[in-house]
Structure 1
Amino acid sequence: MALQITVDPDAATAPFEQIRAQIAEQARSGALPVGHKLPTVRGFAEELGLAANTVAKAYRALESDGVIETRGRHGTFVAAAGDAAQRQAAEAARSYAQRAVRLGLDRAAASAVVEDALRAAYGDVA
């Protein structure tokens, strides 16, 4: 199974973000199964016609998000992203809830801030 990524150099979105988003979506959808080995940074950069640092930045972001994992000299693989993403989202929610309480927000105000942020993040226009 080959990794299918396209980068539009004219897009408003940075190339590293295009790579990150496409790999994350393919991992989430199962098109890239858990354990699938990704190409090396240098090899993938050459294939895409990009600088190695661009691909490395995408891989770092994906690893930070728990979508991929690097196993030293063995390579980089698709991780069990659902579990890692769920844990990270739960930790972010706990941290936000604690901060909202410290700031004196009631539940409704704290929830409204989250809803506004989610609408902005998902591009919903209300």
Structure 2
Amino acid sequence: MTSPAIAQFIDAAGRRRRMVIRLDATAGVPLYEQLRAQVSVMVAVGHLEPGCRLPTVRALAATLGMAPGTVAHAYRELERDGSLVGQGRRGTFVADEPPHSEPLRQRRERLAAAADRFAFELRQVGLAADEGHGLLDEAIHRLASEEEATAG
């Protein structure tokens, strides 16, 4: 399996963000399909929100070490299913209403439920709220460090 690649995209607010893409040339699944599936999931769960500008075909191909035609094929499939919208020279963007995307309200409800479970577990093991905050901060920093290490 190949190592993960970090690609940059521009979110709807104009900030640079990163996405991790893992492709495996030995998987028996075409690379364009692996890329299409991963981008589709990122759209569905809200990591790539409506209005995000994806990397150009050439930039993403260079980042992933693959032919531009492979990335273009994945982008075309995502445009065909309504997840992405190509806007010529302006770029490729996540559609305003992508299919299968989880609405923001549902994501917040899911996160609130996860927070409730976390708070319950804290209480069960006898930890105070500030210790829970510390654990959460550590987890966030650990994830950020892993992304930085992967990017480096």
TM bucket normalised to smaller: 0.5 to 0.7
Q: Which residue of the partner structure matches residue 73 of structure 2?
A: 57
Tell me how far apart the structure 2 counterparts of residues 69 and 18 of structure 1 sit (CA, whole Å). 19
**Partner SS for 1:55:** helix
Q: Which has a greater percent of strand?
A: 2
Displacement of 1:3 in angstroms is: 2.4
Displacement of 1:77 in angstroms is: 0.5
* Superposition map of 1:60-75 within 5 A: 60-75=76-91
CA contact (8 A) 2:60 2:71 kept: yes
Q: Which residue of the partner structure matches residue 51 of structure 2?
A: 35
CA contact (8 A) 2:81 2:99 kept: no
Residue 17, structure 1, aligned to residue 22, structure 2: no
What percentage of aligned pairs have identical amino acids? 45
User: Partner amino acid for 1:16?
Assistant: Y
Q: Which has a greater percent of helix?
A: 1
Q: Which residue of the partner structure matches residue 99 of structure 2?
A: 82
Q: Which residue of the partner structure matches residue 45 of structure 1?
A: 61
Matched residue pairs, number? 84
Displacement of 1:56 in angstroms is: 0.4
Tell me how far apart the structure 2 counterparts of residues 48 and 82 of structure 1 sit (CA, whole Å). 26
Tell me how far apart the structure 2 counterparts of residues 78 and 4 of structure 1 sit (CA, whole Å). 17
TM-score (norm 1): 0.63
User: Partner amino acid for 1:82?
Assistant: P
Q: Which residue of the partner structure matches residue 105 of structure 1?
A: none
Tell me how far apart the structure 1 counterparts of residues 70 and 28 of structure 2 sit (CA, whole Å). 15
TM-score (norm 2): 0.53
